[in-house]
Amino acid sequence: MKTIDSLGDLRGRRVLVRSDFNVPLDGTTITDDGRIRAALPTLKRLADAGARVVVMAHLGRPKGTPDPAFSLAPVAARLGELLGQDVALAGDLVGESARSTVEGLADGQVALLENVRFDARETSKVDAERQELAGELAELGDAFVSDGFGVVHRKQASVYDIAERLPAGAGELVLTEVESLSRATTDPERPYAVVLGGSKVSDKLGVIANLLTKADRLLIGGGMVFTFLAAQGHSVGSSLLESDQIDTVKEYLAQAEANGVEIVLPTDIVAADSFAADAPHVTVEADAIPDGKMGLDIGPASGELFAAKLADARTIAWNGPMGVFEFEAFSGGTRAVAQGIVDATAQGAFSIVGGGDSAAAVRKLGFDEAGFSHISTGGGASLELLEGKQLPGLTVLAD
């Protein structure tokens, strides 16, 4: 894969960088700046090399038109604080403000273009429309660096098409992500344990199918576990259930047994009267969830079981929380798994936290990120690599 090294001397050159700054906001306040901090090594390297750095990113889903609620202004302010320099924010993406902002850059300075998704061509399914935008973006730069790992699974103008227009290479973050995830997908050190959570089995069908040929253990939690329990013939009360996936899960269970892959399911569940932070709740056996109650977390015994199943692992991949970790009463399972991974990592395991909600949970629950080998910035991209897919934003950077 082509890298920054392949771009040659960058002093005085305009370098377009695709970053992933899709950070959570409370109004205009960034509540988790992890993705901004993850972009710093690449941006600092380019600035130190004397490049004139022009950053492209998206925030939220503004539906292809400017929306002040999704402006990158808070990101520009925080990025400037972290870089120790003012970061100018263009008022548009490829218009007069973008052109004048780029023209005003000196060597080593960084600017940010407004939300790329304010232009509907960014995410268009029509190749010609994306390529038109990519052509306009290319006029603002002399080279392109792909460093938004969270979007490399998308065939979008600022990710894929731009790389066909300019000399291009992968940034530090993308290289780290690919190298780390490759350790879990190409000849992983064993035992190889994968923890899967989140709400829906249907979101992870391809991942599960692929892991049944690669992992030694699959630990299943989160809302998706209830489809597994139902496939075993258990009642799940009013818990989240994908009835149309029960037969598929039955096939997975049979395949796992045939392949010698251990499927670890919770033995107890924290079941509540409703989906609310203060909902009355009780811990019940996983095969005896009462009618009218919904499971919102794996139980304490399950947390201990999962931690024990991780203790001797040499490679661990985790994608998806064990419960509704945003509610304190239902965060215990996710906390137990995170601690189990930290403990295994301290004993020499290589551990990957697969972006998205898992990464958010690590930070919200107060874990030191250094306790994990790698925390991915890309939930969907991480999943697709674990699934064994080729990602457009990476294939376009092939040597």
Query: Quick check: is 200 catalytic?
Result: yes
Binding site per annotation, positions for ATP: 204, 295, 326, 355-358
**To which residue do tokens 């008022």 refer?**
91
Catalytic residue among 35, 165, 309, 335, which? Answer: 35
Asked if residues 359 and 353 have their Cβ atoms less than 8 Å apart, the reply is: yes
Catalytic residue among 80, 380, 388, 389, which? Answer: 380
Query: Quick check: is 380 catalytic?
Result: yes
Binding site per annotation, positions for substrate: 20-22, 35, 58-61, 117, 154
**Burial per residue of 241-272, b for 16 or more beta-carbon CB atoms within 10 angstroms, e otherwise:** bbeebbebbbebbeebeeeebebbbbebbbbb
Query: Distance (Å, rounded) from C-alpha 261 to C-alpha 309?
Result: 13
Catalytic residue among 356, 378, 379, 393, which? Answer: 356
CB-CB neighbours of 299 under 10 Å: 25
* Beta sheet of 52-56, edge-to-edge order: 88-89, 110-112, 52-56, 14-18, 143-146, 168-170
Most distant CA pair in the chain, distance = 67
Binding site per annotation, positions for (2R)-3-phosphoglycerate: 35, 117, 154
Asked if residues 15 and 54 have their Cβ atoms less than 8 Å apart, the reply is: yes
Query: Quick check: is 35 catalytic?
Result: yes
Catalytic residue among 2, 37, 200, 363, which? Answer: 200
Asked if residues 60 and 30 have their Cβ atoms less than 8 Å apart, the reply is: no
**To which residue do tokens 């998704």 refer?**
117
Asked if residues 218 and 263 have their Cβ atoms less than 8 Å apart, the reply is: yes
Q: Of all residues in the chain, what percent are helix, strand and coil, respectively (each to 5)?
A: 40, 15, 40
Residue 108 identity: G
CA angle centred on 217, ends 215 and 223, rounded to 5°: 110
Query: Quick check: is 250 catalytic?
Result: no
Any residues with CB less than 8 A from the CB of 291 and at least 6 apart, and which?
A: 235, 237, 238
Residue 3, Cβ density class (10 Å: 0-12 exposed, 13-18 middle, ≥19 buried): middle
Active site residues: 35, 200, 356, 380
